[in-house]
Structure 1
């Protein structure tokens, strides 16, 4: 049996939409990373860019488990004195997109494809998004937070 290698003509980039209401951050990030890499397709190859576009709506209604509200998210600009730290509680109120972006970025491989795949992630705070002409498929995450019940 021959190994299948996808050609550039075989690669398609589908659109998926995920509602983040009461979904635990880690579960959302893993499912989004799988869709961004294209691992849900039978034509997946780790070296080929077969990823999908992922739209995440209601980012401000995400569930954080454990003691994450007391912890901080660190990022560095690469310049001297460029260390930035923000608490998760502060970010959830002001910029929840950054929490999800950091979680998904950590679950993607550390190579040249990760930037291309991360550019296909679209995160929105509310339920509205400008990507309706692309007709995204709804991707349902069945397991929601136990605290939300």
Structure 2
């Protein structure tokens, strides 16, 4: 028997849509990262980008458990002295709810050229509306 290697150029990319309303952030991010990398498919290959496009709606309604709404901090560092900015999760949800999910997923994919191409296929929207109806995404049910 021979092992077949999937070709990245011949990959049929699926479009899936996930509703984030009421879902825990970490569990949702793990589910999304697996779909983006293609780990849910039998043709998964670690060094190839064979995953799906993922659309996440209702990002502003994602659930944070415990006291994370006030205690969890997002840090950005400019590289200059005293250039560290800390943002609580509550303020991040109010201003940029899509970045909460994007950052959580980015932490779960490789930090290299492959990871940068994977994260481009993640589309996150704070509300229920999205501009990707022409791609006919299939709804994927996620239960934490």
| Normalised TM-score (structure 1) | 0.89
Q: For residues 8-52 of structure 1, give each alpha carbon's deviation from its aligned partner in whole angstroms, at most 9, with x where no partner exists.
A: 343121101000000000111001000100111111101111011
CA RMSD in angstroms, aligned pairs only: 1.3
User: Structure 1 residues 100, 107: CA separation in 2 closer, same or farther (over 3 Å shift)?
Assistant: same
CA distance in 1 between counterparts of 2:120 and 2:112 reads 14
SS at match of 1:86: strand
Shift of 1:95: 1.0
Match of 1:134 in 2: 135
The separation in 2 between residues aligned to 1:76 and 1:48, in whole angstroms, is 31
1:62 matched residue in structure 2: 62
- Give the aligned partner of residue 51 of structure 1: 51
Structure 2 matches for 1:48-127, cutoff 5 A? 48-69=48-69, 70-77=71-78, 79-81=79-81, 82-127=83-128
CA drift of 1:61 comes to 0.5
Residue 7 of structure 1 corresponds to which residue in structure 2?
A: 7
Question: Which ranges of 4 or more aligned residues in structure 1 deviate by more than 6 Å?
Answer: none
Equivalent position SS for 1:34 = helix
Alignment correspondent of 1:38: 38
Moved more, 4-13 or 41-50: 4-13
Unaligned runs of 5+ in 1: 144-149
